[in-house]
Amino acid sequence: MEHLQRPGGRITYDVHGPGGGPLVVGVPGMGDVRATYRHLAGPLPAAGYRFAALDLRSHGDSDTSFAQHTTLDAAADTAALIDELGGPAVIIGNSLGATAAAWVAATRPELVRGLVLAGAFLRGDGVRGAQALALKAMLMRPWGPSMAARYLESLFTGRTTDDHPEHTAAVRAALRSPDRYPGILATFANAFRPVPARLDDVHAPALVVMGEQDPDWPDPAAEAAWMRDRLDGELLMVPEAGHYPLAQRPDVTVPAVLDFLATAQEADRA
C-alpha cells in the first residue's frame, strides 16, 4: 500500500509488477474500492505489466480530508498517479472511474496509451427527475449507508466469484464508517451532475466492456455499441455479468484485457 499526496489529502494505491514494465492503472467506480481489480493484480504482472490500482477520495484507504469529490477530481488524481509512476498508461475504469479515464484521455492525451472502459457512463447526462429524487432519498442518513450497500450489491447481477463476499464486506465497512460516508456520499452526488466525457478529444485505442445484465441500462448491448462506435474502439459483451464485469467474470475479461494491452503495446512500437 502506497500513498500519493494530493491537495487536501492522500490517495492510496497498490503497485504490482516489474518496475520497468508498461504501466496500467485501475480506477474504481463510486462506492467501490481498489480491490475490485484484484483479479488483474496477478495476471498483468505475470505478463510483464506494472499494474497500479487506486482508491477514490474517501474510499478504501484514501484520506477522508478532501473537500471535493467530483469526477474531474478523480480524473486529476489518476493523471497525477500516472505522472508519479511514469506514464504513459493504459487506464482501466469502471463506472464513474471510466468517465474519469475518458476525461484524462481527452485532456492529457500524452499520458494515455489506451482505455478499458467497463460499465462506463460517457453520455454526460446525469441522473434526473424522479430517479434522482429517489436516489437522493435512499442515500440520506440514518438508512443511507445500508441502502447504498444494498444498491451496490444489486448491480452484481449474474455470476460472482468465490472471493466476492470478502470484497463486498470491505465496501460495506467503508460505507458504515462515519468518517468515510460523507465523502462517499459526495462522490455519489456526481450521478446528478452532467459530466461530458469530451469524446471528440479521445483518440486513444479503447476497449468497451459491458455486462450483458448490467442493470444501469435498459439495453446494455445498445449502450455498449454506441460507446464502441463513438470511440472507434473494440467491444466485449460479458455474459452473466452486471455492472462489474471485470470483478464478476475474470475468466472472460482478463484474457480480453491482456489481448488489448498487447495490441496497444504493439501500436506503440509501430
Mean pLDDT of 108-115: 97
Residue 132's pLDDT is: 65
pTM of the model: 0.95
Mean pLDDT of 4-25: 94
Residue 127: pLDDT band by 50, 70, 90 thresholds? low
Span 60-80, pLDDT tens digits: 999 999 999 999 999 999 999
Mean pLDDT of 146-167: 94
Residue 103's pLDDT is: 96
Mean pLDDT of 112-122: 96
Mean pLDDT of 137-164: 89
Work out the percent of the chain whose per-residue pLDDT is above 70.
95
Instruction: Reduce the secondary structure of the chain to three states and give it as a string.
Output: CEEEEECCEEEEEEEECCCCCCEEEEECCCCCCHHHHHHHCCHHHHCCCEEEEECCCCCCCCCCCCCCCCHHHHHHHHHHHHHHHCCCEEEEEECHHHHHHHHHHHHCHHHEEEEEEECCCCCCCCCCHHHHHHHHHHHCCCCHHHHHHHHHHHCCCCCCCCCHHHHHHHHHHHHHCCCCHHHHHHHHHHHHCCCCCCHHHCCCCEEEEEECCCCCCCCHHHHHHHHHHHHCCEEEEECCCCCCHHHHCHHHHHHHHHHHHHHHHHHHHC
